[in-house]
Amino acid sequence: MSMEAYVNEAVSKFRKLLEEQIERSEKMRTAPEKKDFSKTQKIVVGTIDGDGIGPILMAQANRVLKVLLRDELASGRVEIREISGLTIENRIALGKSVPDDTMNAIKECDVLLKGPTTTPKGGSMESANVTLRRELDLYANVRPVTIPEENCDWTFFRENTEGEYVLGSRGIEIPDILTMDFKVTTEPGTKRIARTAYEFARNNGKKRVSIVTKANIMKKTDGSFSAICHEIAKEYPEIETDEWYIDIMTANLVNPRIRNQFEVFLLPNLYGDIITDEAAQLQGGVGTAGSANTGDRYAMFEAIHGSAPRMVEEGIQDYANPSSLFRAIELMLRHIAMPEKADALSNALTVCSETERRVIVTGNKDGATAGEFTDYVIETLIKANA
Ligand code: IPM
Ligand code: MG
């Protein structure tokens, strides 16, 4: 192909991307009404195993769900629906990041509990997570992290449907010369994540929201993210707003002198992805933090970590830590208006990781297995309820 032909192809591709993104942005202006789960007769929870350590952790999550939701499952108020087909083998065979049958089944659920899914590096297959977040319009990625001994209580609000992710599999390549990816920030997309973060702050007695960007370099996208968030901040005058660049914020989180002063973080997609792994590691490991992906119609709850193919290769998959997925269950229970059950699980997890009879999951053969840890969690839940 001649250079001219490459350029023409890229330009027409770019026009299409632009038109699609304008259309997506317009659609966002009419949000569907949120479901009030306290009034919903029946709640359908879809469970998705995922890849790698996913099925092992999800088996344990199912045990915990059955204990916590015993009455609701018996009465039919809650239905747990196992959703198949979201394995890397099936996705590769069908050439679809989320196969159609699986997507249809998912759309019939209210909320999802999902194990980690493997994302192929390179190629054009999109990450299943990215597809699900886009197709279900799960625009808020909410990740709580605490370091109790230091009084750190952080909640990250990561924009989850745009930024570097929305066109991450649709960049441009001119072989042997250059490659180019795109980053997108829309006005309605930024407004809705900013509102979600500020509403959370207001409803939970938080006094400070920290916006995190790299607006000195990403002038258009992060520049407008910053400006729009500050605009929304004016609707919440009781809350203090500050702004940091992502590089220094990454340093702040490892600075014990100041890190307990932060409360709520509001940030674009990729920075949110990176910094929440750092935060989870500070809390005790990426195996310890839960992640809520919420939108107006659907919500998906998952572990913060990936499918850990290395653990499977080394044969230590049974030693993976299910805590992160259990924290996801806690977030899910709060979302479906069952806060007492969420608190019960949270207390049991705290007891199981802090008491003398600690069953420590190290992620290796010197520690407990996911099943042993779950036995302890269930025993603790039942004891607390007795
Ligand atoms: C996360 C994960 C995902 C992401 C991957 C699996 C696509 O790292 O949920 O943080 O990058 O968002
Ligand atoms: Mg991540």
For residue 358, the model assigns a pLDDT of 65
The residue whose C-alpha atom lies closest to atom 9 belonging to ligand 1 is 304
> Are 113 and 329 within 8 A, CB to CB?
yes
- Clarify whether residues 118 and 164 are in a common domain: no
Same domain, 380 and 246: no
Calculate how far, in angstroms, residue 48's C-alpha sits from the geometric centre of ligand 2. Answer: 18
Task: Give yes or no: residues 214 and 320 share one domain.
Answer: no
Instruction: Show the CA angle centred on residue 211, arms to residues 208 and 216, nearest 5°.
Output: 145
Specify whether 283 is located in the same domain as 168.
yes
DSSP state of 220: T
Q: How much is the pLDDT for 31?
A: 82
Tokens for 384? 């607390």
Report which bound ligand comes closest to the CA of 160.
1
Same domain, 173 and 283: yes
Question: Would you call 211 helix, strand, or coil by DSSP?
Answer: strand
Going from the C-alpha of 227 to that of each of 24, 222, 261, 344, the distances in angstroms are 21, 8, 23, 40
Residue of minimum CA distance from atom 12 in ligand 1 = 273
46 lines ligand 1 (CB under 6 A): no
Q: Alpha-carbon distance 286 to 143, whole Å? A: 12
Query: What domain range is 310 assigned to?
Result: 40-138+295-386
Ligand 1 contact, 25 CB (< 6 A): no
> Given this model, what pLDDT does residue 357 score?
60
Instruction: Report the C-alpha gap between 269 and 153 in whole angstroms.
Output: 21
What is the number of H-type helices and E-type strands within the chain? Answer: 14, 12
Neighbours of ion ligand 2 (CB under 5 A): 273
Q: What residue's CA is closest to ligand 1, atom 10?
A: 273
In a domain, 381, yes or no: yes
51 lines ligand 1 (CB under 6 A): no
Helix (H, G, I), strand (E, B) or coil at 145: strand
Of ligand 1's listed atoms, the one at least distance from the Cα of 141 is 9
Locate 307 and state its tokens.
Answer: 């499918």
Atom of ligand 1 nearest to the CA of 302: 9
Mean pLDDT in runs of 10 for the chain (386 residues)?
94 98 94 88 97 97 98 98 96 95 98 95 86 96 95 98 93 95 98 98 97 98 98 98 98 98 98 97 90 96 94 96 96 96 95 72 87 95 88
C-beta separation of 145 from 276 below 8 A: yes
Four-point Cα dihedral 196, 202, 203, 207, nearest 10? 120
Domain count, the chain: 2
| Sequential DSSP letters for 10-34 | HHHHHHHHHHHHHHHHHHTTSPPPP
Q: Is the CB of 307 under 6 A from ligand 1?
A: no
Residue 281 Cβ contacting ligand 1 at under 6 Å: no
Which residues are CB-contacts of 293 (< 8 A; sequence separation ≥ 6)?
132, 133, 136, 138, 140, 141, 160, 299, 300, 301, 302
pLDDT for res 345: 97
Does 51 share its domain with 188? no
CA distance 369 to 361: 6
Residue in 364, 256, 372 with CA at minimum distance from that of residue 320: 364
Mutation test residue for ligand 1: of 127, 161, 302, the one with most atoms within 8 Å of CB: 127
- Give the Cα separation of 211 and 204 in Å (integer): 18
CA of 199 to the centre of ligand 2 (A): 24
Domain with residue 220: its CATH number is 3.40.718.10
Residues 364, 246 within the same domain: no
Same domain, 47 and 109: yes
